[in-house]
Structure 1
Amino acid sequence: MNWQIPRLEPGDDFPPASQALPALSPFPGLLAAGGQLDADTLERAYRQGIFPWFSPGEPLLWWSTDPRMVLRPEQLHVTRSLKKSARRFGRSADWHLRIDTAFPRVMQQCGAQRADTGTWITPDMLQAYTTLHARGLAHSFELWEGDALRAGLYGVCIGRMFYGESMFTEVSDGSKTLLMALCGFCLRQRIDLIDCQQQTDYLAQMGAAPIARDAFLHHVAQATRQSAVPGWQYDDSTFLTDCARWL
């Protein structure tokens, strides 16, 4: 069977997500290759349920997987050990939870932590997402120990739709605590779904589950038309309030 995909030129429209390669293909969910990696293209892609994912040396690849892994914030699974860690991070004078104070550093650390297995966070991608961040469409959740950044999570938020991209941690339960912070924030801001893109055991253990791509795209179309989240101010007391249900 011929598994060809469209080759995009800069500025080309994306093909419909339904044309992505099927589950039985060598690359299930692969939609197109090429095009341009910039903030405008990324915003168009996310509004259509499409995301970039590739490694250095590969062409620019665009994906729309079916099913799609998502996390409903209220379904976050919090273990006893995570609850203990999150309490410590939220209540200790040495630890602080922040939003958007070091977005480029979070992206760089996410890439560095995956250097041994290859990373899709190339310099061009860092620049494109940093531009999205400057537009108020990309955000980072951060865990600090004093002046040291110990864990981070970043993603894209358009309207009331959050697309999780990557996370890193240098401490036990650091990234899981930030995922809890993200879920609490989403519940407060009426964000009903967090896109997790790929199915992994880690995400499943945290409460994520796959849904059909058609259902995902329907939600994206509705959520991205809603008003933007009004503010991304955050501190330790906000975390404790947002996450009280789990703590």
Structure 2
Amino acid sequence: MSNINWLGSQDEFPNPIDCPDPDPSVPGLIAVSERIYPGQLARAYQMGIFPWYSENQPVLWWSPNPRMVLKPSNFKCHDSLKKTIKHFLSDPQKNICVDDDFGAVVRSCATTRRKDQDGTWITHEIMDAYTDLHEQGHAHSIAVKEHGRLIGGLYCVAFGGMVFGESMFSHQTDASKIALATLTAWCKQQQVEMIDCQQETAHLDSLGASPVARDEFLAHLQVALKQTNIEIPWKFDKAILRHWL
């Protein structure tokens, strides 16, 4: 990674538009830092850059090309998920809680085992950094609960009219899909046109996400950051899921 920028606490990120791939052998890797410095995470998101690394690695900052995104209008609410939503809405013991369980949702995303995946990229440093964003009003959680117990959820980042999906988890079948269906319904209501999914996976593809060129993503980001009609603070409940029925 000899050509990658190593950032100190006062250094700015290279612009992905001007400096798309400093090291072609590691496509999408924009910069590296020893740690996540104060204010750095917020600046990164507003430039279309995000951290993704493992324990005992330096912080790796990415802006991949192409970029996986989910346009809320393209969300695939399959018949089986619609059936699950109907049961969810009719059960008074099942609820959606927004932003009141942020730490619990992030910890669950970090500790829930996933098929064909060893470990997690959600380190203690990541938890602390996103908790700071949450306290600033820029990171949000959607918790899916049954009898008051957390059974699924997701957390995301938002600036202006741009939403960046981070991680989901399920302790019950389709619980993470319920969380994503909730988020996409809210995004449609708020005229959010794109949810960043960062990197392509078969699971996201099955739900309607698709890759776009980095230039297209970054151009949309600059417009979305100026969007001012978004409801703040986030306030919605499970009734918003009726959008998909």
TM (normalized to structure 2)?
Answer: 0.93
Q: Which letter does structure 2 place at the counterpart of 1:144?
A: K
- Does residue 217 of structure 2 align to residue 219 of structure 1? no
- Distance in 1, Cα, partners of 2:34 & 2:218: 22
Gaps of 5+ in 2: none
- Sequence identity, in percent? 40
- Report SS of the residue matched to 1:17: coil
For residue 233 of structure 1, what is the aligned residue in structure 2? Answer: 235
- Distance in 2, Cα, partners of 1:27 & 1:141: 33
For residue 27 of structure 2, what is the aligned residue in structure 1? Answer: 28
The Cα of 1:17 is off from its aligned counterpart by 0.9
Structure 1 residues 38 and 94: CA distance shift in structure 2, 3 A = farther
- Distance in 2, Cα, partners of 1:225 & 1:164: 19
**More moved, 53-62 vs 27-36:** 27-36
- Report SS of the residue matched to 2:150: strand
Gaps of 5+ in 1: none
- Report SS of the residue matched to 2:128: helix
TM (normalized to structure 1)?
Answer: 0.92
- Report SS of the residue matched to 1:126: helix
For residue 53 of structure 2, what is the aligned residue in structure 1? Answer: 54
Q: Which letter does structure 2 place at the counterpart of 1:209?
A: S
Deviation digits for residues 199-242 of structure 1 (CA, Å, limit 9, x no counterpart) = 111111100011110110011111112225333112222333xx
The Cα of 1:35 is off from its aligned counterpart by 5.2
For residue 146 of structure 2, what is the aligned residue in structure 1? Answer: 145
For residue 165 of structure 1, what is the aligned residue in structure 2? Answer: 166
Matched positions, count? 241
Q: Which letter does structure 1 place at the counterpart of 2:58?
A: P
For residue 211 of structure 2, what is the aligned residue in structure 1? Answer: 210
For residue 89 of structure 2, what is the aligned residue in structure 1? Answer: 90
- Report SS of the residue matched to 1:210: strand
Structure 1 residues 58 and 36: CA distance shift in structure 2, 3 A = closer
**More moved, 210-219 vs 117-126:** 117-126
Moved over 3 A (4+): none
- Report SS of the residue matched to 2:186: helix
For residue 178 of structure 1, what is the aligned residue in structure 2? Answer: 179
For residue 37 of structure 1, what is the aligned residue in structure 2? Answer: 36
- Distance in 1, Cα, partners of 2:71 & 2:136: 26
Structure 1 residues 37 and 76: CA distance shift in structure 2, 3 A = same
Deviation digits for residues 48-85 of structure 1 (CA, Å, limit 9, x no counterpart) = 00000001011100000001000000100111111111
- Distance in 2, Cα, partners of 1:35 & 1:11: 12
The Cα of 1:3 is off from its aligned counterpart by 6.4
**More moved, 116-125 vs 211-220:** 116-125
The answer as to whether partners of 1:11 and 1:35 remain within 8 angstroms in 2 is: no
The Cα of 1:166 is off from its aligned counterpart by 0.3
Q: Which letter does structure 1 place at the counterpart of 2:128?
A: Q
Q: Which letter does structure 2 place at the counterpart of 1:156?
A: V
- Distance in 1, Cα, partners of 2:71 & 2:2: 33
Q: Which letter does structure 2 place at the counterpart of 1:233?
A: K
The Cα of 1:94 is off from its aligned counterpart by 1.5
CA-based RMSD: 1.8
**More moved, 52-61 vs 2-11:** 2-11
